[in-house]
Structure 1
């Protein structure tokens, strides 16, 4: 009787390490897995949740980086336009543009009047 018990134990140990045993799902019938099925399912669900959460966070970080780069570009463009407008608004620049266009205008020689009520 002992000889048959030893051979069955050896057969079980070989089953544990067999690739086909693991691939076929035979290890799921083991006592440990049957007793802890709920915990294993909970852990698998949590793993999927954490993977999905990480993926979502990475997507949002990429979007934030893209928007920050776009903001830097827009700020630089606004600064360039503002400095160009400031340069073109100078009186000397306006007088030069009037002369180039051939418009017959001259600057005022008398200061403007203030009207009081």
Structure 2
């Protein structure tokens, strides 16, 4: 009869209701290593939180890199537009459109030396 009780106790030891009901917390292994289990659970929570923070920072880095690309493209566009508008032919055309009476110099500029 003792062998049957022990076998039945071992079978019921790992049943779903035994674990869910909290009976597993009375086991000798769990009682002896409670501090270690608590430490492991705390470390697991710490690592999960750390991973979540890292993922947020990576998303922020990606967003900022995209914003940097957009700003660089805009600066390049503005620079090329400025270069196009500052050409002599473009300036002469704008002067004619505005009706300003200016002419280009017929003589080259002089360089003065001491």
Does the alignment pair 1:81 with 2:78? yes
Does the alignment pair 1:71 with 2:104? no
Match of 1:100 in 2: 97
Q: Following superposition, which runs of at least 4 residues in structure 1 exceed 6 angstroms of deviation?
A: none
Partner residue of 2:33 out of 28, 32, 36: 36
TM-score, normalisation: structure 2: 0.89
Shift of 1:14: 3.0
Question: In structure 1, the residue corresponding to 2:54 is in which secondary structure?
Answer: helix
Question: In structure 1, the residue corresponding to 2:107 is in which secondary structure?
Answer: coil
Q: How many angstroms apart in 1 are the aligned matches of 2:56 and 2:4?
A: 56
Matched residue pairs, number? 114
Q: How many angstroms apart in 1 are the aligned matches of 2:39 and 2:71?
A: 48
Question: In structure 2, the residue corresponding to 1:98 is in which secondary structure?
Answer: helix
Gaps of 5+ in 1: none
Shift of 1:18: 2.3
Q: How many angstroms apart in 1 are the aligned matches of 2:106 and 2:15?
A: 104
Match of 1:110 in 2: 107
